Structure 1
Amino acid sequence: MSGEARVPHIMLVAGEPSGDALGGELMEALKELTGGRVRITGAGGPNMIAQGLSSIFLMSDTSVMGPREVIPRLPLILRRMRETADFAVRERPDVLVIIDSPDFTHMVAKRVAKRAPDIPIANYVAPSVWAWRRGRARAMARYIKRVLALLPFEPDFFRAEADLDCVYVGHPAIERLPEPGSGLEFRKKHGIAPDAPLLLLLPGSRTNEVKRLASVFGETAALLAAEIPGLKLVLPTVPHVRHLVEEAVKGWGVPVELVEGEAEKRAAFDAATAALAASGTVSLELGLARVPMVVAYKIDPVAAWAVSGLLQVPSVVIVNLILDRPAVREFLQFAAKPKALVEALRPLLVDTPQRERALADLEDLRHVMGVGGDRPSLRAARAVLEMLPASLA
């Protein structure tokens, strides 16, 4: 064959901001590993567009949450699914990578697998089928060739449950650790002494989370502030719930420093002594930043009853699932009471065997997650490039 060798063609599909962030980092890593000799097409948002993607459609068409937003937009979402699948079948990428937002991306993958079964499909950020609906792993194996896992226990699960190839590439939180020394700068900026105990309060980033947890977190903070001399309270928040948070803290009766923005949040993590957090990815971020924590969470009682019958994991705290032990204490629903939270947090705010044990557990977490090795996006890019045909690899 004469002429220059064909450049690999990789198609990426992300349907919401979390996937777009990962997609942008993946594109950067793919270009790094190939010296720029790669063609990348697909659908994404501003992060992927900034890396050179000409998106098939605007991400705002598919980035919706909840029935009230989804139902009126459903015809458009279904059309975007068809258009994305049609594009893949027509353009024949060497690998198709679907990223997060499974309600959208997996429907695209199924359509492509049915019409063009020769196109290998990777799933970057698989749905949490290990937590419930485990049978879905076997269904995924019919159209997914490889899973790029964010959590270290997922490869064993997918192999055992569905004989599905799964590679641990690492969680994006590993790429977003606090800058060394940022905690001291944070304390200086906010007038907090270097040796003052600092409790982070993280009642969630969704409206319902803040509404359900604000009063519990506030009462807990007030009780601890009355007990521990010089305790400082810091609450990282986000723009769309800041007004709710500001209104809530007015009634707490203790001073709380509100901070906003990713850089301030990471610096606050580096400055913190301990944290009280809602359940979610934030617990993993805190763990990787070596912040001992207690997790509390409340949802609608009817939803809680329904979920409790479906859950197939012993904890809702991702740190506990990764370490396979109850390293972080969790207080859910009616157990999330201020006095109980105070009892759990108190020993984490001073030098105690409990705090020492918590810090050791978080060092184990960092080791298991691969902190200090290649960045996750680079590992993910390697896993994608391994799927290329032999003539292009």
Structure 2
Amino acid sequence: MTKIAFIVGEPSGDRIGADLILHLRAALGDDLDVFGLGGEEMARQGLVSLFDIEELSIIGVSAIVARLPQLVRRVSQTAKAVIDAAPDALVVIDSPTFSHRIARRLRAARPDIPIVNYIPPTVWAWREERAAKMRAYVDQAICTFPFEPEVYARLDGPPATYVGHPILSEPHLKPLLNRSLAGKTASASPRLLILPGSRRSEIDRLLADFGKTYERLCRTMPGLGATIPTLARHRARIETGIADWPVKPKVVTGEDEKWAAFANADAALAASGTVSLELALAGVPMVLAYKLDPIGYRLRHLMTAWTAALPNFIVGHPLVPEHFHEVVRPELLARRLERLLTDTIERRAQLQGFQDIREKMAIDRPPGEAAAEIVLSVLKRG
């Protein structure tokens, strides 16, 4: 029996972990035993989680500080469970604030157990020194962005391999990837996507400014429609937040509705994050904005990257505009979006860049299949 421990701290990692288990089981069959931390998707693949990972789904330095005692207890509990179980390998997925503490404790107690990090820390964005430190307790990194292996090699990190981003396996995205971006023109009655974030704190910090931006656009572009795709648990919050908007966007939940909105959109105003990659691959020109929590804002000097936008990292130049804190100004955001909602040089430049992103991220097999092969090779090496 091959026993593999998993440490996953949030829903996005849960989906990736479930996909990895699915492909590992395809190779190992009933000779696979999984345990550790995971969510609902991994539970469907047979993992019984040590506790509800919703406890770890936090963002921002302020939130981490507020819940530090709880996190410390969970680190000790989880590390002890993994060490006592003596697995054949440990796979940690994202959430480095939590998962890497488990990895370091396991390496200290059982240096013979190999450790794989699927979605390693974003050392290309901040705290580059983490890459070299990881060599002591990570045997292999599995990356979801094509530029990451070179970054980890340059920073003397653990061996790293690009397998493709999980979004490339999203069935709703595939029809959009097949649509040519060459000559894609704006609609006569343009549609705007408004994406204020996937967490409550992000929505609270951005929704009002996004509303003022949309109000200004509606004055200069009569007939402009807008859609806000969001998670079901945030729908009431969004609807309360837009109650006093002069023109109400349509609020949708569910994957089918989200991707239908992406397919019909001419441009997007979005919180900087993974959604920017989804928009790029779907061919939706965008303007990005973000506001950190108060403590994170005070620590912003720790950010060493030249950009926070994933599309910009992938193509290597400032393709999509970014706006942070004091520069999140509705008048500025609206003027940028006007240039993307009509056929301009800015719109064409983004679409050309999105085509480059598609080519750089192209893969010839599902990411989970390639990741499973890497985990199995690490197991064979011991």
**Is the Cα contact below 8 Å between 2:36 and 2:82 reproduced in 1?**
no
Match of 1:191 in 2: none
Deviates more, 1:284-293 or 1:243-252: 243-252
1:285, 1:260 → 2: CA distance?
Answer: 16
Match of 2:136 in 1: 142
**Is the Cα contact below 8 Å between 1:147 and 1:165 reproduced in 2?**
yes
Match of 1:125 in 2: 119
What amino acid is aligned across from residue 361 of structure 2 in structure 1?
Answer: M
What amino acid is aligned across from residue 276 of structure 2 in structure 1?
Answer: S
Match of 1:187 in 2: none
Match of 2:184 in 1: none
What amino acid is aligned across from residue 154 of structure 1 in structure 2?
Answer: E
- CA spacing shift, 1:226–1:19, aligned 2, 3 Å: same
1:296, 1:101 → 2: CA distance?
Answer: 23
- Which structure's CA Rg is the greater one? 1
Task: Show structure 1 runs of 5+ residues with no match.
Answer: 1-6, 183-193
**Is the Cα contact below 8 Å between 2:285 and 2:347 reproduced in 1?**
yes
Query: Aligned-pair distance for 1:384?
Result: 1.1
Matching of residues 258-297 of structure 1 within 5 Å = 258-297=251-290
Matching of residues 49-198 of structure 1 within 5 Å = 49-55=43-49, 57-60=50-53, 62-65=55-58, 66-67=63-64, 70-71=67-68, 73-74=70-71, 76-89=73-86, 92-93=87-88, 95-176=89-170, 178-179=172-173, 196-198=189-191
What amino acid is aligned across from residue 156 of structure 2 in structure 1?
Answer: A
What amino acid is aligned across from residue 223 of structure 1 in structure 2?
Answer: R
Match of 1:190 in 2: none
Query: Aligned-pair distance for 1:226?
Result: 2.1
What amino acid is aligned across from residue 115 of structure 1 in structure 2?
Answer: A
Question: Sequence identity of aligned pairs in percent?
Answer: 38
- Give the counterpart of 1:375 among 343, 360, 366: 366
Task: Show structure 2 runs of 5+ residues with no match.
Answer: 177-186
Query: Aligned-pair distance for 1:262?
Result: 2.4
2:210, 2:9 → 1: CA distance?
Answer: 33
**Is the Cα contact below 8 Å between 1:24 and 1:47 reproduced in 2?**
yes
Query: Aligned-pair distance for 1:148?
Result: 0.6
- CA spacing shift, 1:61–1:264, aligned 2, 3 Å: closer
- CA spacing shift, 1:271–1:45, aligned 2, 3 Å: same
Query: Aligned-pair distance for 1:140?
Result: 0.9
- CA spacing shift, 1:12–1:259, aligned 2, 3 Å: same
Match of 2:181 in 1: none
Matching of residues 344-359 of structure 1 within 5 Å = 344-359=336-351
**Is the Cα contact below 8 Å between 1:259 and 1:265 reproduced in 2?**
yes
Query: Aligned-pair distance for 1:15?
Result: 3.2
1:48, 1:208 → 2: CA distance?
Answer: 26
Q: SS where residue 19 of structure 2 aligns?
A: helix
**Is the Cα contact below 8 Å between 1:85 and 1:109 reproduced in 2?**
no
Q: SS where residue 377 of structure 1 aligns?
A: helix
**Is the Cα contact below 8 Å between 1:178 and 1:289 reproduced in 2?**
no
Deviates more, 1:30-39 or 1:167-176: 30-39
Confirm or deny that 1:315 pairs with 2:307: yes
**Is the Cα contact below 8 Å between 2:140 and 2:160 reproduced in 1?**
yes
**Is the Cα contact below 8 Å between 2:194 and 2:229 reproduced in 1?**
yes
